[in-house]
Structure 1
Amino acid sequence: MHRHGAPRRTAAGPGRTTPRPVPRGAAPLLAAGLLLGVPLLGGCTSASGGDPEPAPTSPASPSSSGGTSTTAASAPATAPPRQPPAELTEGQVNAAVARIDGYAQNALAKTGVPGLALAVVYKDKVIHAKGLGVRQLGKPEAVDPDTVFQLASVSKPIASTVVAGVVGQKVVEWDDPVTAHDPGFALADPWVSGHVTIADLFAHRSGLPDHAGDLLEDLGYQRDYILQHLREHQLAPFRASYAYTNYGLTEAAAAVAKAKGVAWEDLAADVLYKPLGMNSTSSLRSAYDSAANKATPHVRDAAGWQVSTTENPDPQAPAGGVSSTVQDLGRWMRLQLADGTFEGKQIVDPAGLNETRLPQTVSSPTTAPAGRTGFYGLGWNVSYDPEGRLRLNHSGAFSLGAATVVTLLPSEQLGIVVLTNGQPSGVPEAVAEEFFDLAQYGHETVDWLGFMGKVVPAAAQSPASPTDYATPPAGAAPAKPDSAYLGTYGNDYFGPMTVSSGDGGGLVMSLGPDNLRFPLQHYDGDVFSFRTRGENAAGLSGVTFAVGADGKAATVVVEQFDHDGLGTFTRS
């Protein structure tokens, strides 16, 4: 197994680093965004494992009066004490609300995203809720505030709210070892297995690699199998590294549910959804599927926007499986901004909730003098705005057709949620940032739609495999006879793989509990390619057979599955 983060040989040839998959459920705190003090896309690393394409240069930080801040070079030798920011007035907030629908409508027109819903909470009231666009292209039904959307990784701060409620019931503590409630859970290091806590997994600091387990979900494996196989991943330094893991967080939530003796989906409903009257909210995909008023996912290809179908996120429900409406989420934001109180009743313990808002780990160290360090709390991106105020944020993204964001400014009792039914394009993030600009300054400080429209799609791009070409390279060596490759190969993580003859000739690779079939296309010598599928699809990816002296392949390396050195299959 290769050391986490080290360059690896790929299935397509030596000396190339393995492409990372398209992020599932959410996307990263990008360095470009942090230059602006804006936490982008939920907190996972970029698809390439590094920074996106260069972003526009950061503007000077706006002052509370709407101007720009004084530079260090021109500052007086003894600067006066910084004054706390003036509280936003009701007039400022109302003025921003009056303009945000027009901005959102323009964003839909410019990008083609089919539909959007947003809600604004201020001083314990939902002061605005609006639907724009259509639920599905080609059909007339309009989005309204009661349209159900898939939330993707906006599910994470909802999950941490649920756990905070259970912490308040004195059933668990954030610092409980996970094995205290789920004794069968283990990671690769026995010491880490016994010490990793609920908070460690919610803060993505367990040492698990980025998006560990997501590819198993793409193959059709269910939650129990995926959680049991997290132990196959080599760990980065415990509590000294950050890597966004849907299934690490899911394990922590599942352990809390076991402590209560119920399924997670029921726990979320009992602790949060029912007490708040979130009647259109669920952690089950079946609820979204059966909703009469729901937003259909869409993706964009060369022909434009098309109706799509997202994968079933039930296996990672705490991390990415919630569906809801902006009306319901307005209730949840009210509870957040009122420290766990809703309509005069304490629903969630404020101390347990406050833990979720503290910086737990550095998610994105600053990379520029004007940059800002990014932090992750417990299910939240935690940052501080140019005025020094606490800012909570999370985005969600399904590459197969959903993009969402929620941002709270607790000191102002102000928050916005924006939901869309299109693949990540920067629209929800742009709308949210525009709203806070309008409230604070009365005008836009950055071309948010242009900025987010560059960095958000860039974060979702996966580098192309060397095998991702329609035809083999010039001078390609011929393949050996099919008999050299046919057979069954084992893998402790991904399970068995069978290579068989296709109905129309050629080779077919079959994997997963449902034996998903992937036709193989010859590339060069013993290297083939297959078209990846699912949320983490990344075009064509390489499959390299190592053929021995007996004329039979002894091992197969699948490039798409080898990000963490787990992609080698051995002939049974």
Structure 2
Amino acid sequence: MTRSACAAVLLSWCALASASPAIISTPELDAYAHKAMQTFDTPGMAVTVVEGDTVTTHAYGVRKLQDAAPIDAHTIFPIGSNTKAFTSAALAILVDQGKLRWDDRVVDKLPGFRMYDAYASSEMTVTDLLVHRSGLGLGEGDLMMFPTSNRSRAELVHDIRYLKPARSFRAGYDYDNVLYIVAGALVEAVSGQSWEDFVQQQILDPLQMRDTQTSIDAAPADKVSLHAKNTTAVRGVGKQAVLATVMTGKVFAPAGALQVSATDMGPWLRLQLDSGQLDKSRRIFSDAAAKMLWTPQTLVPISTLPKPLALAQPQFEAYALGFEVQDYRGHKIITHLGGVLGGVSAVVIIPETHAAFAIMLNSEDVGTLFAVREHLLDTLLGLPSPDWIAGYKDLFDGINAGAVAALKTPAKATSGERGPSLPLTSYIGVYRDPWYGTATLARDGKGALTISFDRSPGMHGTLEHVRFDTFRTHWAMPDVEDAYVTFALAPDGSIDQMTMKAISPIADFSWDYQDLRFTPVRAVK
């Protein structure tokens, strides 16, 4: 739909408002949203659109499957990593207050901070914490908090020193979460307040974001339940279901714990478009800070999309401070994705048209998320649209089919292979990984081998032998990605180390089992 056509449709709205004419047609967006949700079997979604001074909210579907309660403008959704922009904004406020500089060394402001590499420990700046160039691998260390943890934020900050880097400091881009927790600890050290209190008082309260919760565990009545297609071995394939296991705890809040409504997204998006200006006399952060938040810092590698989706492929992409900067069909956009177990979100800002939008889902259906995102971008930019829904359905159907096929292959190849090298009792014991902590292997009343991740409450289950010295988990906690567990033996036949790998080839990167290197601590008596 063209700009002029959209403006004509909304002429009656324009007569009632002093704002610039809106170009989003609510009936057209409604029809598109329902089609996308039906295609990908999405339970619920909320959308916020800002066009100049006009803010509209759009709510679709239900908060929970098998429950008639509808999503509305005040229903809160977890926004996952879209929380990172709030943490970056909190640091920007401290810079404006003169308590911090972007090029301050973290070690000078956060005593005891240390990375595995001495040079990175010494030279990492405040900016470095936020731009994914630390040298850590993709999602490295996420199991310290994912899906839950009994460690404190201070313990996690301390244990980062044991994460062995995947590349040199500042050598390239790898997305991480743990350094945003360090950024949250930095907010606390410099301000004297908890991250939660600082964000509440300095950002949420002035913006009157009254629905928003800083805790992932907060459970007001108007909150979504979270869903996933997790009824088969490949997450994303099968029937949609309410998740029994969701992310909990305080430790990861600065990286991804905010819960936000469509109504509250409006003032946050307007703040970004207005470069930190709250009203005629007040600012949340300065114009200089706003520019810094959107300044590209780290180049992001670009993956090739299939031909039906080629128009969505950026020509450049870089990470700024809690945002990504890229182009969309020749137009600069500021954007970020967010995800938790059972929910995904997207924020998109179009500076040249002074427009922005946010999309929040109570499921993991990124096909819906991406199709609606591209549709809104095309509408706001006055561009013709291909069939994004069909394109993304084909893409994800292919990815899921490949994962299903990959899981079937090992089962055929290992048929009839012999058992483990040692008696099951020889595998029993306490194992320690330098950054995660301990895992305990024991035997249950039926003689089955069991495993427990001791820093992740509830994350325990049985081990089933696969082949040689490789087993696989069957976690008792629902919705947790299962993993292969492989033991390496020393020359004398004793266990030298225990390593792990997610079974599903498309498991979320936060299940970073591959980064674990457990060694025996002691046998269990």
Same fold, judged at TM 0.5 (above): yes
Partners of 2:487 and 2:495 within 8 A in 1: no
Instruction: Identify unmatched segments of 5+ residues in structure 1.
Output: 1-62, 67-88
User: 2:374 matched to 1:433?
Assistant: yes
Hey, what does 1:358 align to over in structure 2? 295
Q: Does 1:108 align with 2:37?
A: yes
Match of 1:304 in 2: 239
Alignment-mate amino acid for residue 273 of structure 1: L
Alignment correspondent of 2:75: 147
Q: Which residue of 2 aligns with 1:237?
A: 168
Match of 2:274 among 327, 331, 338: 338
1:160: which partner in 2? 88
Deviation, structure 1 residue 259: 0.4
C-alpha deviation, 1:122, in angstroms? 1.6
In structure 1, distance between residues paired with 2:100 and 2:498: 44
Determine if contact 1:212/1:230 at 8 Å carries over to the other structure.
no
Deviations 1:256-284 (A, max 9, x none): 22100111111111110011100111221
Q: Which residue of 2 aligns with 1:46?
A: none
Identical-residue share of aligned pairs (%)? 26
Q: Is the 8 A contact 1:494 1:512 kept in 2?
A: no
Alignment of 1:178-217 (within 5 A): 178-217=106-145
Query: Cα RMSD (Å) of the superposition?
Result: 3.2
Superposed CA deviations along residues 300-352 of structure 1, whole A, max 9, x for unmatched, are 14552111142116322121111010110101111111111123221221211
Q: What is the aligned partner in structure 2 of residue 517 from structure 1?
A: 460
- Report if aligned partners of 1:527, 1:543 keep a CA contact under 8 Å in 2: yes
Report the CA distance between 1:161 and its aligned residue.
2.1
Aligned mates of 1:512, 1:468 — CA distance in 2: 32
Aligned-pair CA distance for 1:471: 9.1
The partner residue of 1:349 within 268, 274, 286 is 286
Q: Once the two structures are superposed, what CA deviation does each residue of 1:411-468 show, in whole Å capped at 9, x if it has no partner?
A: 2110111111011332122212101212323642x22223334556888999689899
- Looking at structure 1, the residues matched to 139 and 402 of structure 2 have their Cα atoms a distance apart, in angstroms, of 14
* 1:489 Cα deviation after fit: 2.6
Equivalent residue for 1:541? 484
Structure with the larger helix share: 2
Amino acid at match of 1:348: F
- Does 2:437 match 1:495? yes
- Alignment check: 8 A CA contact 1:120 1:414 kept: yes
What is the aligned counterpart of 2:257 among 310, 321, 332? 321
Whether contact under 8 Å (2:20, 2:54) holds in the other structure is no
Preserved CA contact (<8 Å) 2:336 2:346: yes
**2:401 matches 1:486:** no
Structure 1, residues 83-133: CA drift from partner, whole Å, max 9, x if none? xxxxxx955x4244552122112211222101111111121331x112111
SS in 2 for 1:346: coil
How many Å apart are 1:247 and its aligned residue?
Answer: 0.8
Q: Distance in 2 between matches of 1:488 and 1:530?
A: 17
Correspondence list, 1:45-194, <5 A: 93-126=22-55, 128-194=56-122
CA contact (8 A) 1:124 1:338 kept: no
2:408 and 2:192 map into 1 onto residues whose CA distance is: 48
Q: Give runs of ≥4 in structure 1 deviating > 6 Å.
A: 63-66, 366-370, 456-472, 533-536
Question: What is the deviation of 1:379?
Answer: 0.5
Mapped partners of 1:298, 1:323: distance in 2: 16
User: Are the structure 2 counterparts of residues 215 and 95 from structure 1 closer, same or farther at C-alpha, using a change threshold of 3 Å?
Assistant: closer
Matched residues in 2 for 1:402 and 1:431: separation? Answer: 15
Deviation at 1:141, TM superposition (A): 0.7
Contact 2:443 2:450 in 1 (8 A): yes
Contact 2:431 2:518 in 1 (8 A): no
**Structure 2 counterpart of 1:122, which letter?**
E
Q: Which amino acid aligns with 2:520?
A: T
Question: What does 1:350-499 correspond to in 2, within 5 Å?
Answer: 350-365=287-302, 372-387=315-330, 389-398=331-340, 400-441=341-382, 443-444=384-385, 446-455=386-395, 473-479=414-420, 480-499=422-441
> What SS does the aligned partner of 1:94 have?
coil
Residue type matched to 2:286 in 1? D
Cα 1:461–1:215 change in 2 (3 A) is farther
- The equivalent position to 2:200 in structure 1, one of 255, 269, 273, is 269
SS of 1:496's partner is strand
Partners of 2:64 and 2:479 in 1: CA distance: 23
Compared CA separation, residues 216 and 403, structure 1 to 2 (3 A)? same
Counterparts of 1:191 and 1:558, CA distance in 2: 29
Q: Secondary structure at the match of 1:521?
A: strand
TM-score, normalised to structure 1's length? 0.77
Following superposition, the deviation at residue 382 of structure 1 comes to 0.3
| Displacement of 1:409 | 0.6
